[in-house]
């Protein structure tokens, strides 16, 4: 595996993990936080991802992609817990 791919994967994983920890802490600390609140933020991230008319660097795209993935995974897990 090339060094380029290694740093990209590490950066993605670091951001994904950081965002996930932030979401877990928010849910635990804020009783009024709902799946709908988190979904609203995710929807905004989708818009931001789509608004790339001027282009963004690969570092910015990695960060945005990892953040979106963390939100998606967090919502999925929360919905799964809610149905049990």
pLDDT tens digits for range 7-59: 999 999 999 999 999 999 999 999 999 999 999 999 999 999 988 767 888 89
User: First and final CA of the chain: distance in angstroms?
Assistant: 41
pLDDT at residue 52 in the model: 78
Q: How many distinct structural domains can be found in the chain? A: 1
pLDDT at residue 11 in the model: 96
pLDDT at residue 84 in the model: 72
Instruction: Count Cα neighbours of 70 within 13 Å in the Cβ-side half-sphere.
Output: 21
Q: Reply yes or no on whether the pLDDT at 62 is more than 60.
A: yes
Average pLDDT for 50-77: 92
Please state, in angstroms and rounded to a whole number, the distance separating the CA atoms of residues 71 and 45.
9
Q: Domain of residue 54: give its range.
A: 3-82
């Amino acid at each position: 595996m090339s060094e380029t791919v290694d740093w990209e994967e590490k950066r993605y994983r670091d951001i994904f993990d950081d965002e996930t920890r932030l979401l877990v802490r928010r849910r635990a600390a804020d009783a009024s936080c709902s799946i709908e609140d988190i979904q609203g933020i995710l929807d905004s991230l989708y818009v931001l991802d789509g608004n790339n008319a001027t282009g963004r660097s690969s570092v910015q795209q990695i960060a945005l992609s990892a953040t979106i993935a963390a939100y998606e995974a967090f919502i999925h897990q929360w919905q799964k817990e809610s149905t049990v």
